[in-house]
Amino acid sequence: MAMMPAESVGQQVLFLRSLVLNQGEHIEREKARRRTPVVGYLCSYTPVELLRAAGTWPVRLNPGPRSIGHADAHIQSFACSFARGVVEALFDGSLDYLDGIVFPYTCDSLRAAAEIWQAERPGLFFHFLNLPLRMDGRAAAAFLREEFEHLGRRLAEAFRDPAPALAGELGRQRTMDGMYRALWARRGSSAYSAGDFLALAWARESLPLEEATALVQRLLMEDGGASHGGRPVLVAGGAVEDPAVLDDLERCGLRVVADDLCTGSRAFAYQATTCPDPWEALVRKYLDRVHCPTKHPAEGRIEHLLRQVEASGATAVIFLLQKYCESHAFDYPHLVDVLRQAGVPCMMVEIEQGSTFGGQTATRVQAFLETAGGEVV
């Protein structure tokens, strides 16, 4: 039996929404059937093609809403709820099914979480993936290649040599990501909600590749039905782990027609290139993608955001910022200035794991709608 039930697409999307917040029980059961080692990772900068080429099943981890108890003794309380949730999951046993974990270097909070994991789980395959801060220039390419090859050697020692299968995995990933981009381009006229699309984005990074590909193929063949009304907006920000957050936005009278989220389209926002050398192709993919605020320079990210606004027909931008996420918080004022100079109204909503919109936030969104462009259409 496949992890994804052989039912209607609508039922499968509902299944994916439940999977986002209940990864452990599904993956643990499927792991026993597949007999495939599971390697968790924390960020879309992880080269999943390399993990699959090593014979593992890469799963982007979502700690989900949980009460924080053990983590408070190990990580500062002003770390974002995502980082604290990752540490809590280490101690409450919900990630005991993992055979390995990869932490790419993005922010200091996740680096602290990585060090706690390394100290507390010495028998687990653990890799801290150093990434350059500047993602341009030959030095960055050389550094990243060295880091990817180092990860490849460690995977070969623990699982199998990924080099022979790397080119094939790169090709399979490009095919799926191309379909995801095609599907996202139609989201403004889709009957599926923004929460459904977020669940699909998580599926790309947690389901086996062939199952995620099959689902997107089916969705591309569907008419999709009539889209719901609401003011078209683009949603930007960091990690959004719960589809209900985007559902709450749309209940306020918005229609999410595009996104620039760490857990959304940013992971497949890159120009597909082919190189004879698969290691070089892997490096170019991760260097040339749309980067998050932990990487520099910022110009490409800003240009991408403006292009998305224009292409999608969004009339405003809503920033969803994880509480205590310094990287995105530092980025926010500059992005707001650029957008407002371009005549695009925007607002910020602070979120954290396990929280959805209360009445006060809904009132703020409604006020924004009224003051930044008139009636909802």
- CATH code where residue 147 lies: 3.40.50.11890
26 within a domain of the structure (yes/no): yes
pLDDT of the residue at 2? 52
Q: Does some domain include residue 229?
A: no
Q: Residue 226: what pLDDT?
A: 66
Residue 200 forms part of a structural domain? no
Please tell me the predicted confidence (pLDDT) of residue 1.
38
pTM: 0.93
Q: Which pLDDT value is given to residue 204?
A: 94
What one-character DSSP code corresponds to residue 296?
Answer: B
User: Please, what are the averages of pLDDT over each run of 10 residues along the chain (377 residues)?
Assistant: 61 90 89 94 97 98 82 90 93 94 96 97 97 94 98 98 98 96 90 93 94 92 72 94 91 93 93 90 95 93 95 95 93 94 94 73 87 53
CB atoms within 10 A of CB 43: 23
Q: What is the pLDDT of residue 6?
A: 52
> So what's the pLDDT on residue 309?
96
Residue spans of alpha helices (H) in the chain: 9-21, 23-34, 48-53, 81-92, 108-120, 138-158, 163-185, 194-206, 209-221, 243-251, 278-288, 299-312, 326-341, 359-371
What pLDDT is recorded for position 377?
33
The number of CA neighbours under 13 Å toward the Cβ of 226 is 3
321 is a domain residue: no
**Domain for residue 19, yes or no?**
yes
Nearest CA-CA partner of 203 in 1, 19, 2 = 19
* Cα gap 365→376, rounded to integer Å: 12
**Other CB atoms closer than 10 Å to residue 88's CB: what's the count?**
24
156 in a domain, yes or no?
A: yes
Contacts of residue 328, defined as CB under 8 A and 6 or more positions apart, other chains included, come to 237, 238, 292, 293, 319, 321, 322
Residue 65 in any domain: the answer is yes
Flag whether 157 is in a domain.
Answer: yes
Count of structural domains, the chain: 1
Domain holding 103, by residue range, is 9-165
Cis amide prior to 297 (ω within 30 degrees) = yes
